[in-house]
Every structure is written in structure tokens, then in C-alpha cells.
Amino acid sequence: MQCHPRRGQGRLWIVSLGPGAADYLTPRAAEALRQAQVVVGYKTYLDLIEPLLHGKTVLASGMRKEIERCRKAVERALKGDGVALVSGGDAGIYGMAGLVFDVCQSLGVAVCDGLAQGDDAGEALPIEVIPGVAAFNAAASLLGAPLMHDFASISLSDHLTPWTVIEKRLMAAAEADFVIALYNPRSASRPDVLDRARSVLLRYRSGETPVGVVHRAMRAGQRHWVTTLKDLVGSNVDMQTVILVGNSQTYLWSGWMITPRGYLQKYTL
Amino acid sequence: MQCHPRRGQGRLWIVSLGPGAADYLTPRAAEALRQAQVVVGYKTYLDLIEPLLHGKTVLASGMRKEIERCRKAVERALKGDGVALVSGGDAGIYGMAGLVFDVCQSLGVAVCDGLAQGDDAGEALPIEVIPGVAAFNAAASLLGAPLMHDFASISLSDHLTPWTVIEKRLMAAAEADFVIALYNPRSASRPDVLDRARSVLLRYRSGETPVGVVHRAMRAGQRHWVTTLKDLVGSNVDMQTVILVGNSQTYLWSGWMITPRGYLQKYTL
């Protein structure tokens, strides 16, 4: 829907913070944070952008309060505020973007495209989703070039998805030789989730398959290392870890993890 | 490998430009472009960052010259220059990062981590991969929130990958209900590639599955629209188009394409 915001009407930016460091925050995201009167987010992420929050109304909340944050953000925007709802990584990938639209639909709030606005008055709430550097983009860059060919991203959290669906996806991705990005490799309700995933993958893939593990990419406490599928263990990981499993062509070289861009050795170097 | 660059030693940044507009170029990428004496890239991408190239040695080349660009970038860095090799979107996703490591390995060039450098002298070439906003991140943000759940990214180009591999991945991703991002939906050698992909997907997925088509996200000439799998046609797409196919839960609402974050309706709004 075309946007025609009224003067003084609120608006909502869904802001991707990227991996966390200011070096990877896009100018568009920084501008939205500058313009916003109200910033809403998970406390851990707000701490990462503390210098940008001076003088703003900050509404922080804890984990698993996503719906509450979305409702608050939409309510404040409807009252006339410029609201930035922040999300780590890319807001469109396991982030806050989808929930905002779900909430607006359920509340009967008409929404229009905040990027495509005209000058006339209107009633719809302008929303802009600002894309960012996702966690797997950041993780891959630290490891070298593991995502260079087709890949699948799978969250191992069974909080809102049945394990049978997750398992089916692991099997499909392994059998079709995708590079695989695993999110949420430790679940509160299922601490052995990575070991279970590894067992599924090993039905289809060699134990020598290179694996990269990245913890807190581009943040304080960053650690990353490479291993193989047979040696991958769940003891060192948590919800801030992303794991990248190579395809059949992926190789390790001097500590780097590299996936060639194709299967046909058409090029000579 | 830990980096210990010598004074006056060259270095190589693999720079992700994001979708193209300066609004989505990370500060880290901008800083690398500022420091570089030499910038190497595909002409179309260099045109997007023309204001940042003033006073630099610019080595531009055309499509399918990727290996030549990589070799040139590595050679100049070994001679002592600070070299930025640019890539559209995220350099680690169907970009230039993998080829650089391939080239260095084949030339016997020792490479170290440009982000983790110390003070001592050393012989290895410092390389830093700077992640960015990938094409599907940008495309998803314009459509709403289509990538909110597990997804697979598949290139339909059969230039370096046999069609049998591509077809197998399409089947696996469709059957396991991944959201699917399709890159390179038109191939010079196979102009009907999107129609073929659609036929494969329709074996497993409803014709009513929502599909988003995004052409030149965040660039001049940007266009995007939503349709369904049965109505998806290959006539409007080219190599600068990304197509996002929803999963079984994805819905269209007011022109937006939205994938819920889970399968269990645990939350009430």
C-alpha cells in the first residue's frame, strides 16, 4: 500500500542492528535510530547501541517478551511517535519483522510502505523494514568463505516448531548437499539438540565434513574455530553461537573454511 | 593464522557493497574503501560507489572475469598496496570471497586474518572479509517479512553447477517446507530455468504459495511485487532479480508477504 502520512503521524522503523558493533550498522539503521523518539528492544541489544540512545524514551524488555515489545512499538507509533524497534542481526531473519506484521494484522492496524511515501494525508501506519548484516553473514566472514554455494538456514529451537519438522529439514538439507547454517544450537528445553542434529547429518554426510563454529561474531567475547562434523560437540555452544556445516566440496586451508563456487572445475587458476 | 604485517606490507579487503545504495554500506566497508589505494571490481558495482573512488587506482572488468579480478587484487596486495576487492550484496554469498581463497591457495600465497593482527613482522598476506547486506536480506525487507523461518538459498545458474544438483535441491527444499530464495532466475544458456524450477516446486507445494519477486532492490529501477507459485512467470526476471517462495504458513496481507516465526500457535495477539 502506498503511504501518505499525515503531519505529526507516527511511524515505525524495524531496525536491524547487524552483529552488534557500530562498524556493521548501516547508515540507514543509524538514521532511523537518530530520528526515533522511542526505541524498543531486547535489553542485550539495546546495550550494544547505548551511545545512540541519549535523550530518547527507551523501552527495554527481556527474552521471550517479543510480542509485548511489538505491541508497545505499534501502540506508540499509532499515538504519533517515531518508533525504532530494534532486532539483532537482520530483523527479517529469525528477528522481529514478521511479528510486527502479525500484530498489526491481528489488531486491525492498516500498514503502508514507509519507503514509498507520498504527500497526501492518510490513515495507515508507515512501516519500514531496514535490512542488516545477519548473524550467518558475519559468522561466514570470520571463517573465510563457507557460504559461497547454495545453503540452508535451520533453527534448532523447538520452542515454536516441532522437532519432527526440524529433523526433516536437517535430512533434506544434508541429502541435497546444502551448506547448512544452524541457529540456536542449544535449547533450554533440549540441551542435547546439537548432538541430535549432528546424528541426523551424519546419516548423509561424511564425518570429515568441515564445520565452523562462531560465538558472538563482532562482539566482546568473540570466538570462532573450525572442526569436523564427527568432532562437533555441543558443550561449547549457546544461543549466541552460529554453526556452519560445509557441503561435500568445502575444504579447510590454513585455518580458513572455504566452499568453492561450483561443482564443475571449469576454471583453472 | 595470526597476522603480523610488516610496515609497508599490502593487504586485501574483500568488501561487501550490500544492495548498492550508500544507505546500506556498512561503516567498515566504507572505511576499507577509504584506506585502499587500489579498488578492483565488476564495472556495474564500481559505478554504484563512484563518489568513493576519487584519487584511487580503479581496476574494473566485466562479467565472468571474476578470476582475473581476484588474481589482480592478490598481485597488487602482494606488491604492497592496500587493495579493496568489491562484491555486490554480501561477498560471502555467491560473491568474491571464496574465489580469493581459492586463488591464494593455488598460487601458494600464505594468508592471515586481517582482523586479528599483532605487531611483529611476518610474511603472510592479511585478508579481511567484510560482511554486508545480502541481496535476499534487502529483497525480504521490501516484501515485509518472508524469510522469518528456516530457508534455503538456491542459485538457478547452471554455469558451474549441474542442473541435476540444482533440481535435487529444489525438490529437497520444497518437500521440507523451507522458504526458498532463488538467485539467478534467468540463465543465458537456459532462459526457461525459472519455469523449470517452478514445475519442480509445484510437485510438492500448493499453487497458492505466496511468491515475492524483487528486481534491483535499493537501486535505480527497483521493482517488487507479490504473486503465487502458479502465476509466477519467467518473462519479467533477469540476473538482478531475487525470488522468494514462501513456506506452507506464509501469507499475503495488504500487499505484504509474511512468514510466521513458527508452526505452533503458542502465542495469542
Question: What does each C-alpha distance from A164 to A171, B23, B96, B263 come to in angstroms?
Answer: 11, 41, 37, 11
Distance from CA of A185 to the nearest CA of B (A): 14
Query: Which regions of B68-110 does DSSP assign to beta strands (E)?
Result: 82-87
CB-CB contact of B158 with B191 (8 Å): no
Q: Residue B16 falls within a domain, yes or no?
A: yes
CATH number of B219's domain: 3.30.950.10
Ranges A59-68, A132-141, B38-47, most confident: A132-141
Per-residue pLDDT reduced to its tens digit, A207-265: 999 999 999 999 999 999 999 999 998 878 888 999 999 999 999 999 999 999 887 76
With beta carbons less than 8 A apart as the criterion, state whether B211 and B243 touch: yes
Helix (H) or strand (E) holding B100: helix B97-107
Considering CB atoms only, which of B97, B259, B266 is closest to A98? B259
For B151, the 3-state DSSP assignment is strand
- State mean pLDDT over A166-183: 98
Q: For residue B202, what is the enclosing H or E element?
A: helix B193-202
- Residues A32, B20, A96, CA angle at the centre, nearest 5°? 40
pLDDT of A262: 83
Burial per residue of A165-177, b for 16 or more beta-carbon CB atoms within 10 angstroms, e otherwise: bbbebbbbbbbbb
Chain B residue nearest residue A113, CA to CA: B142
- Cβ distance of B269 and A173 shorter than 8 Å: no
B221 CB-contact burial (10 Å; exposed 0-12 / middle 13-18 / buried 19+)? exposed
Residue A147: all three cell numbers together: 557460504
Report the residue from A103, A133, A147 with minimal CB separation from B132: A133
Residues forming a β-bridge with A35: none
Closest-CA residue of B relative to A17 is B26
Residues of chain B neighbouring A204 (CB-CB closer than 8 A): none
Mean pLDDT over residues A3-16, rounded?
Answer: 81
Is residue A132 within 8 Å of residue A89, measured between CB atoms? yes
Q: Tell me: do A140 and A250 sit in the same domain.
A: yes
A5 within some domain:
no
Q: Is residue B195 part of a domain?
A: yes
**CB contacts, 8 Å: B35 with chain A:** none
**Are both A101 and A145 inside the same structural domain?**
no
Q: How far is A56 from chain B (nearest CA, A)?
A: 23
pLDDT (average), residues A67-76:
94
User: Does residue B19 sit in the same domain as residue B115?
Assistant: yes
Contacts A256 to B, Cβ<8 Å: 101, 111
> Between A170 and A268, where is the model more confident?
A170
Chain A interface disruption, residue of B136, B142, B148, most A CBs within 10 A: B148
Q: In chain B, which residues have their Cβ closer than 8 Å to the Cβ of A254? A: 1, 110-111
pLDDT at B268: 61
Asked if the Cβ–Cβ distance from A147 to B92 is below 8 Å, we say yes
Q: How far is A58 from chain B (nearest CA, A)?
A: 23
Q: Are residues B193 and B119 in the same domain?
A: no
Subunit contact A173:B155, Cβ cutoff 8 A: no
The predicted structure's pLDDT at residue B77: 96
Q: Is residue A245 part of a domain?
A: yes
Query: What's the rounded mean pLDDT across residues B28-47?
Result: 95
Distance from C-alpha of A24 to C-alpha of A71, rounded to nearest angstrom: 28
Which positions in chain A touch B259 (Cβ < 8 Å)?
Answer: 98
Domain span holding position B214: 135-258
pTM of the model: 0.95
| pLDDT exceeds cutoff 70 at A76 | yes
Put simply, the answer to whether A269 touches B102 (Cβ < 8 Å) is yes
Residue entry with cell 496481507: B253
The verdict on residue B266 lying in a domain is no
Where do the DSSP E strands lie in chain B?
11-16, 38-42, 57-61, 82-87, 111-113, 125-130, 144-145, 151-155, 179-183, 210-215, 223-228, 241-245, 251-253, 256-258
**A191 pLDDT band (50/70/90 cuts)?**
confident
Å between B57 CA and nearest CA of chain A = 24
Cα distance between residue A224 and residue B113, in whole Å = 12
Q: Are the Cβ atoms of A172 and B175 closer than 8 angstroms?
A: yes
Query: Three-class SS of residue B198?
Result: helix
The verdict on A165 and A149 lying in the same domain is yes
A-chain residues within 8 Å CB-CB of B93?
137, 140, 147-148
Q: Is residue B269 part of a domain?
A: no
The three-state secondary structure class of B199 is helix
How distant is the Cα of A31 from the closest Cα of chain B, in angstroms? Answer: 9
- Cβ atoms of A201 and A174 closer than 8 Å: yes
Q: How many Å is the Cα radius of gyration of chain B? A: 21
Report the length, in residues, of chain B: 269
Contact by Cβ (8 Å): A144, B112: no
Contact B165 A153 (CB under 8 A): no
| Last-in-domain residue among A68, A103, A130 | A130
- pLDDT value of residue A266: 58
Q: Is A251 in the same domain as A178? A: yes
Instruction: Note the pLDDT of residue B5.
Output: 60
More reliable by pLDDT, A16 or A63: A16
pLDDT, tens digit, 9 for 90 and up, residues B206-257 = 999 999 999 999 999 999 999 999 999 887 888 899 999 999 999 999 999 9
Mean pLDDT of A190-217: 95
Asked if residue A269 is part of any domain, the answer here is no
Structural domain total, chain A: 2
* Chain A interface test: which of B2, B65, B147, B223 (most A C-beta within 10 Å): B147
| Mutation for A interface: B33, B137, B184, most A CBs within 10 A | B137
**How many beta-carbon pairs under 8 angstroms link A with B?**
256
Q: Does the structure show a pLDDT above 50 at B119?
A: no
* Residue B66 confidence class, pLDDT cut points 50, 70, 90: confident
Strand ordering across the sheet containing B11-16:
B57-61, B38-42, B82-87, B11-16, B125-130, B111-113
Rounded Cα distance between B261 and A102, Å, is: 10
pLDDT of residue B121: 40
Are residues A69 and A125 part of one domain?
yes
- When mean pLDDT is compared across A4-18, A110-124, A129-143, A212-226, the lowest value belongs to A110-124
pLDDT-above-90 percentage for chain B: 76
SS (H, E, C) chain A: CCECCCCCCCEEEEEECECCCHHHCCHHHHHHHHHCCEEEEEHHHHHHCHHHCCCCEEEEECCCCHHHHHHHHHHHHHCCCEEEEEECECCCCCCCHHHHHHHHHHHCCCEEECCCECCCCCCCEEEEEECCCCHHHHHHHHHEECCCCCEEEEECCCCCCCHHHHHHHHHHHHHCCCEEEEECCCECCECCHHHHHHHHHHCCCCCCCEEEEEECCCCCCCEEEEEEHHHCCHHHCCCCEEEEECCCCCEEECCEEECCCCCCCCCCC
- CATH number of the domain that B73 lies in? 3.40.1010.10
B222 neighbourhood in chain A, CB within 8 Å: none
- Res. A8: pLDDT tops 80: no
Q: Give yes or no: residues A110 and A152 share one domain.
A: no
Average pLDDT value for residue range B105-133: 84
The pLDDT of residue A52 is 94
Last residue of a domain, one of B79, B105, B130: B130
Residue % of chain A over a pLDDT of 90: 76
Q: In what order do the strands lie in the sheet with B223-228?
A: A223-228, A210-215, A241-245, A179-183, A151-155, B151-155, B179-183, B241-245, B210-215, B223-228
Q: Closest CB to A90: pick one of B137, B171, B267.
A: B137
Residue A119 has what pLDDT?
A: 47
Q: Which of B87, B113, B130 lies at the terminal end of a domain, its last residue?
A: B130
Does the pLDDT at position A121 exceed 60? Answer: no
CA distance B225 to chain A (A): 11
In terms of phi and psi (left: phi > 0; alpha: psi -120 to 50; beta: otherwise), the region of A64 is: left
